[in-house]
Chain A
Amino acid sequence: EVQLVESGGGLVQPGRSLKLSCAASGFTFSNYYMAWVRQAPKKGLEWVATISTSGSRTYYPDSVKGRFTISRDNAKSSLYLQMNSLKSEDTATYYCARGYYDGYYHSYYFDYWGQGVMVTVSS
């Protein structure tokens, strides 16, 4: 059974840093792209970051580029999100998601999601 379990959330002051973790199990972690998707309170979904299987390629939207860093440790089946210079608008539930790559379409969709971890940025 595929499981994705996030941790590391909490209350943090604006301008400070926080690192989220996602422990994966039930599949060969190194074979999959992984991503973070967030959801502000009572708002929609926003993609935050994606990392390739080896970790050599990373992708971010402009809203977090230069502040957030996605990384992975395939030996530990773990995904991370280092968040620096946090802003109040980063307050959200952060989901770890697995990217299932389809070779025919040369793209992927999110086929499994974790339960999410809350990050609150406030003074």
Chain B
Amino acid sequence: DIMLTQSPATLSVTPGESISLSCRASQSISTNLHWYQQKPNESPRVLIKYASQTISGIPSRFSGSGSGTDFTLNINRVEPEDFSVYYCQQSNSWPRTFGAGTKLELK
């Protein structure tokens, strides 16, 4: 199984800061990596597909990069509504796996 390691587990930031979240795969997954955001008591929603492709309706402050085993989700100037949990997920092979998540919290 492909393990996805997200870091940090928790990130405390102030609105307006720009941040990067990491997701590292235990073996190469090309660009078959997707990012999801889950706000408290809500269902997840996709933010970025295939490592760096944007999703219609998602604010442009969210961007992704990476390939192989190292991936990054960037948030340019965090907004108050961005405080939530972020998960990465691979679709390169079975079983599909998710990272444990990074919680973005208000400093």
Contacts and interface: CB of A to CB of B under 8 A. Distances in A.
Contact of A109 (B43, B91, B99, B100): B91
Nearest to A107: B91
Nearest to B44: A113
Nearest to B30: A105
Contacts of A50: 96
A115 B39 CA distance: 12
Nearest to A35: B96
Interface in A67-117: 95, 100, 102, 105, 107-111, 113-116
Nearest to A96: B43
Interface string A8-39: 00000000000000000000000000010100
A59 B94 contact: yes
Interface in B58-107: 87, 89, 91-92, 94-101
A65 to B, nearest CB: 9
A44 B88 CA distance: 11
Main secondary structure of the interface of B (DSSP, over half): loop
Given A44-B100, A107-B32, A109-B34, A62 B43 contact: no
A110 B87 contact: no
A66 interface: no
B46 interface: yes
B95 A47 contact: yes
A45 B94 contact: no
Nearest to B53: A102
Contacts of A46: 98
A50 B95 CA distance: 10
Contacts of A111: 46, 49, 55
A47 B96 contact: yes
Contact of A44 (B32, B34, B55, B87): B87
Contacts of B38: 45
A104 to B, nearest CB: 9
Nearest to B98: A45
Contacts of A113: 43-45
Given A44-B101, A45-B89, A50-B96, A105 B50 contact: yes
